[in-house]
Amino acid sequence: MSDRGSVVKDIKILAIESSCDETAAAVVENGREVLSNVISSQIDLHTLYGGVVPEIASRKHIENINFVIEKALNEANCTLDDIDAVGVTYGPGLVGALLVGVAEAKAICYAKKIPLVGVHHIEGHICANYVQNKELEPPFVCLVVSGGHTHLVVVEEYGKYKILGKTRDDAAGEAFDKVARAIGLGYPGGPKIDKVAREGNPHAFEFPRAKITDSVYDFSFSGLKSAVLNQINGAKMRGEEVNQADIAASFQQSVVESLLTRAMHAIEETGMKKLAIAGGVASNTAIRKAFESECKKREIEFYRPSPILCTDNAVMIGSAAYYEYMNGVRHGWDLNAIPNLKLGER
């Protein structure tokens, strides 16, 4: 209902996410209400190989996609006849995996004659905050940290973003995976380092906090990763025991400080009083704790999705698709998967 008493139709979006190793579908109403959230994860399968195998991911998406969509519709107590539009991730991500979701979305929209809305994966992560925090509205600063991306952005309006900084090399999540493998924790690295680091000393090793001379907001994690590997190899050559927990805690502390200093600098420079985090790495307990503490100190409103909405899911895609839909975005049958799609590109 509108505040003038006129009836406003509720918009139901069927959302599909298949950019990496999760096949997900959800029904989201008005961009913020979750009617269903179904995720079929392939983590156990890819753990055998120490990381995501693109070909296997694509094949599993094909096997699972109809099942997760049917389940999402059933849990939302609706049918395709109740759906106003289909939102789907079309980039960035693994091209074969993306194509499965895009083809499925096109087929549904063609058969039911409903609008197709392509969604940027990183925009989806940002929009997860709208679902978790119903009161949150632009403008605000958002740090997106995931396995493939590390972006610091200003969300100026719904669907309008200004990129302040991004990683020059490895994403934060990528560094977590590589370091976890090096210290024998295996895949997925993020949650495993998070757990082991709680038993370690975060100041046992002073690993570098890289600074980019020509951009105060850009990130770099490849040097940090190399420093950790050098520490491990040096200890082995000297016949010393590698303390897994101390390495994990010290590495994690370096990442936390790198992320926090840039985010706080953005808050200072923009004068904004709202900061959000998003992406799979945003579920890391040390990152959440550090950001929460610093924001409280500075009297900044801090927003973060629940852990289930940090990792890849279709709810966030449904939220992003709703705001795109309301802005008049409609895609044609020529919508294609774009594996290196940049934030803000349409």
Q: What angle do CA 80, 18, 49 make, to 5 degrees?
A: 145
pLDDT-derived band at 1 (thresholds 50, 70, 90) equals very low
Q: Which residues pair with 13 in a beta bridge?
A: 28, 85
pLDDT bucket at 343, cuts 50 / 70 / 90: confident
Check if 12-127+310-326 and 135-308 are the same fold: yes
Q: Are 14 and 70 in contact (CB under 8 A)?
A: no
Is residue 201 scored above 70 in pLDDT?
yes
Looking at residue 266, its amino acid is: A
pLDDT tens digits along 63-115: 999 999 999 999 999 999 999 999 999 999 999 999 999 999 999 999 999 99
Look over the chain and give the mean of its residue pLDDT values, rounded to a whole number.
93
What is the structure's pLDDT at 51?
78
Q: Which of 15-19, 23-27, 165-169 has the lowest mean pLDDT?
A: 165-169
Average pLDDT over residues 212-235: 91
Q: Which of the two residues, 48 and 180, has the higher pLDDT score? A: 180
Per DSSP, the residues of 143-208 read EEE-SS-EEEEEEEETTEEEEEEEBSSS-HHHHHHHHHHHTT--SSHHHHHHHHHTTS-TTSS---
CATH number at 135-308: 3.30.420.40
CATH code: domain 12-127+310-326 is: 3.30.420.40
The predicted-structure confidence for 288-303, as pLDDT tens digits, reads as follows 999 999 999 999 999 9
Q: What's the pLDDT tens digit per position in 91-103?
A: 999 999 999 999 9
- For residue 21, give the nearest of 85, 90, 97 by alpha carbon: 97
pLDDT value at 341 more than 80: yes
pLDDT reading at 46 higher than 90 = no
pTM for this model (two decimals): 0.92
Tell me the pLDDT band of 122, cut-offs 50, 70 and 90: very high
Residue 4 predicted with pLDDT over 50: no
Residue ranges of domains in the chain? 12-127+310-326, 135-308
- Between 148 and 110, name the one with better pLDDT: 110
pLDDT for residue 7 is more than 80: no
The more confident residue out of 266 and 53 is 266
pLDDT surpasses 70 at 222? yes
Most confident of 105-119, 147-161, 198-212: 105-119
